[in-house]
A and B are shown apart, each in its own frame.
Chain A
Amino acid sequence: MISEREAAKYPFLNDAVTLVETLGLTLEDLMDPGHTKVLDRAERRVAQAIINGEATSELGDTITELLSFPVGNMFITAMGEQFLFRRYALSEAVRAQGLLKDETEERLAKIARLEFGWTLRLVDESLDGRLYRFELLFKDYLRNAAGFREPEWKIVNRLMREGYVLLTRREASRLLQEEIQRRIADLVSRRRQISLPGPLGAKVESLKKFFDENRSRLTGEDLPSELMTEAFPPCIRHAFEGLMAGKRLSHMERFGLTSFLINVGMDIDEIVNLFVSVTDFDEQFTRYQIEHIAGLRGSRTKYTPPTCSTFKTHSVCYNPERLCQHIKHPLSYYRIKVRDIQREQGPESGDEAPNTQAAK
């Protein structure tokens, strides 16, 4: 059986879940003042996901640390924000990876095999000045690394033989992070959205408010939460309309349009649907690519759309307007145009513009 401390470090492991189950805690139990610490820690987990995208480990009080994980999951499910499902999963996975990379090879291998079904062998090979400690079957490798953009993760650049890819300890734990993230994202998004009673519900409400305050920073900078297609610059409008008309977009148009839509706050699912409905793209693949651009995968950098000059070189720039002469970036066009339109719409909505900016 798993120790309490181990379970607190890796609460998503099957053994840890079983351990929590044997405690048989009910929702009522959790609302008992004796569990305030658990609720507070769960709230902090979610808040850390929102602010930093990376939770810390608090192993001083292992039972609180352990119990706060399922409670945190519950909060996330109850908040019902698609965006947060993935961000929370990432935040928890990064936390776990920080601990994993210092585990012994044997411990890493055990988790990888038993929990995630990896076909993995321990080796001890020093090559190119690096110490390789594992050999992983290419299928398990690709499931986790195929989405990474950095060249060192491409299998052409890996040492591979007879189906096994050599990995250092740090690399193995990085790939495990992907597995963990997927598992947690599944965990929180599969469950039905619930409304929680009493102090639990109160925590969810305050977390929702906290997320709303940070939403613009995380998903769309200082832009309005409603998409304003009428404020799109000519290039984006052209690509967007082309897509709707079933035209094949060039690579640059697709990347430009996707990153633009992400940056003005369009929901990832909406973008996926948009692409899948008008093209014959494979949904899974499209989602993967879009999540990449949104910074939820791989290098975890969120891509901003290319500048006007890049758009010009790739003939994405289309019928530039007067306003285009004064800007260098399609997003600036959007920002200025949004403000203009809101101003035109009269004093009430005009008053809101400075507010949105102040919340930044």
Chain B
Amino acid sequence: MAEQDWGSEQYVLEHFGGFYSTGAQHVEAPTEIKQREFGFLSFGGRTMFRHIGFEDTEELRRYLRNYSPAHSYFSAAYYQEPRAPMAEKGWIGADLVFDIDADHFDLPCQKTHDRWTCKTCGEAGKGHPPERCPGCGKATFAEENWLCESCLDAAKYEAQKLLDMLIQDFGFQPSELSVNFSGNRGYHVHVRSPLAKDLDQLARREVVDYILGIGIEAEYQGLTSRQVGGGSMLGRGGWRGRTIRALYDFVGKSTPEEIKALKLGRNTTRDLIEEKDEILSSLMNQHPSRIVRYIDKKSMEKLLDAAVDEQASAIDTVVTTDLRRLIRLPNTLHGKTGWLTQNVPIEDLPDYDPLTMAVAFNEGTEKVYIKRAPEINLQGEVYGPFEEETRELPLAVAMFLLCRKSARVVR
């Protein structure tokens, strides 16, 4: 079967154009606009238009009105000459940016809305693709990844943990942080601070390791076999407090069955069950090294891993360490959803719901033929699942399906 214009690109382009004719007015320039590089992807285009620079906000808005790009980005970096080729741009510094994308998580809901198809033998399944195809053993798959409230909530939760660490551990001011819904499956956090601006790549890697809890060792969390003085660490800031609080919660909350399920050392398992009160009171009142005698080394590593897993924020490692990264520009449209990349004030984040707030095309309906799509909850209403059917849908839903190339307009 020939490509039947899945996604009706021309139609979507026209609607993006309609949006930007008034919506461009709401696009704010990033700070230091003259030092930023911009990049855009057009509909149907495969290559990115990069190395674009603007003198002021008006020029940027005019560009959006004229070209209605499918995707709009700006650099986290500041350059002397943002329009110059990469080697000659003159890197001045860069915001510290974090990308949280539910696509990288392992979530139960993905089993309901994501699918894979083996490109070799056609075998298909739900969720993330397996390492190798059970049918033919090859490893190339076509993926159809969707999203739902659960993935978006999971991403938001990770963003909140990240904000906590940036504020409490790194001491950034809330006013230096901005959070954007990515317009698809996640959140971006930007740190604009003189303390962050000239961190080099190695330093940023260390920050990433900190946020992910990579390289944490028991010995340096106060869990040394050497008995040392000092008080409880439960209330301590930073990872020290985080690991100890997670241990405390785990020991306090777990039932004997749950503890056994972890397959820790035999003595450790017994002690965690029988000496539970003693361990909890040690953690509450004394230095964490007091509990090391109850837990063997291997078991301690396992417990610590679990604590780190729970406390760390699942950021993408590449984005933060890339000093020349382009990031989505807030209040522009995301070409794979038709939703807005949207700035969310930190205090509003707990109640923020992208599936109502970030929807751009609010009026009218459109008739579309849908190849296949899972259930989607948009603006409080549930639509689908769909399979090879023609439906008249609210424009927001139709645009979403078109942007994902799972439908085409029926005229």
- Give residues in A with beta carbon < 8 Å to B: 126-129, 137-139, 142-143, 145-147, 151-152, 154-164, 282, 284-285, 288
Q: How far is the CB of B238 from chain A (nearest CB, A)?
A: 5
Q: How far is the CB of A166 from chain B (nearest CB, A)?
A: 10
Among B74-82, B124-132, B225-233, B325-333, which stretch is in contact with chain A?
B225-233
Contact B213 A129 (CB under 8 A): no
For residue A128, which residues in chain B have a CB less than 8 angstroms away from its CB?
222, 224, 228, 230, 287, 289
- B214, B216, B237, B240, most chain A CB atoms within 10 A: B240
Q: Mark B273-310, 1 if CB is under 8 A from A, else 0.
A: 00000000000000101000000000000000000000
Contact A284 B201 (CB under 8 A): yes
Tell me the complex Cα distance, A147–B206, Å. 9
Contact A159 B202 (CB under 8 A): no
Closest to A292 in B: B202
Tell me whether A163 and B237 are in contact in the complex, defined as CB-CB below 8 angstroms, given that A127-B230, A128-B224, A156-B213 are known contacts: no
Which of A143, A152, A159, A288 interacts with B238 by CB under 8 Å? A159
A-B contact pairs, 22 of them (CB 8 A): A128-B224, A129-B226, A138-B195, A139-B196, A142-B202, A143-B203, A146-B202, A146-B203, A146-B206, A154-B206, A156-B216, A158-B238, A160-B169, A160-B238, A161-B237, A162-B168, A162-B169, A162-B237, A163-B169, A163-B172, A282-B323, A284-B201
Chain B interface residue bracket vs A: 35 or more
Tell me the complex Cα distance, A282–B202, Å. 11
Which of A127, A163, A285 interacts with B195 by CB under 8 Å? A163
Which of B168, B171, B215, B230 interacts with A154 by CB under 8 Å? B215
Confirm or deny: B217 has a beta carbon within 8 angstroms of a beta carbon on chain A.
Answer: yes
Tell me the complex Cα distance, A161–B238, Å. 6
Which of B196, B217, B228, B230 interacts with A151 by CB under 8 Å? B217
Tell me the complex Cα distance, A125–B213, Å. 25
Which of B169, B195, B217 interacts with A157 by CB under 8 Å? B217
Contact B230 A129 (CB under 8 A): yes
Contact A129 B228 (CB under 8 A): yes
Closest to A125 in B: B230
Which of B202, B207, B224 interacts with A147 by CB under 8 Å? B202
Contact B214 A156 (CB under 8 A): yes
Contact B220 A157 (CB under 8 A): yes
For residue B170, which residues in chain A have a CB less than 8 angstroms away from its CB?
138, 160, 162-163
Confirm or deny: B200 has a beta carbon within 8 angstroms of a beta carbon on chain A.
Answer: yes
Tell me the complex Cα distance, A162–B213, Å. 17
Tell me the complex Cα distance, A164–B195, Å. 12
Which of A145, A156, A162 interacts with B215 by CB under 8 Å? A156
Contact B216 A157 (CB under 8 A): yes
- Given known contacts A126-B229, A129-B226, what 14 new A-B pairs fall within 8 Å (CB)? A128-B289, A138-B195, A143-B200, A143-B203, A146-B203, A154-B210, A156-B209, A160-B238, A161-B169, A162-B169, A163-B171, A282-B201, A285-B201, A288-B202
Tell me whether A154 and B228 are in contact in the complex, defined as CB-CB below 8 angstroms, given that A161-B237, A162-B171, A282-B201 are known contacts: no
Tell me the complex Cα distance, A138–B206, Å. 11
Contact A142 B201 (CB under 8 A): no
Q: How far is the CB of B167 from chain A (nearest CB, A)?
A: 9
Tell me the complex Cα distance, A159–B233, Å. 11
Tell me whether A159 and B195 are in contact in the complex, defined as CB-CB below 8 angstroms, given that A128-B224, A129-B230, A288-B202 are known contacts: no
Confirm or deny: B239 has a beta carbon within 8 angstroms of a beta carbon on chain A.
Answer: yes
Tell me the complex Cα distance, A98–B224, Å. 29
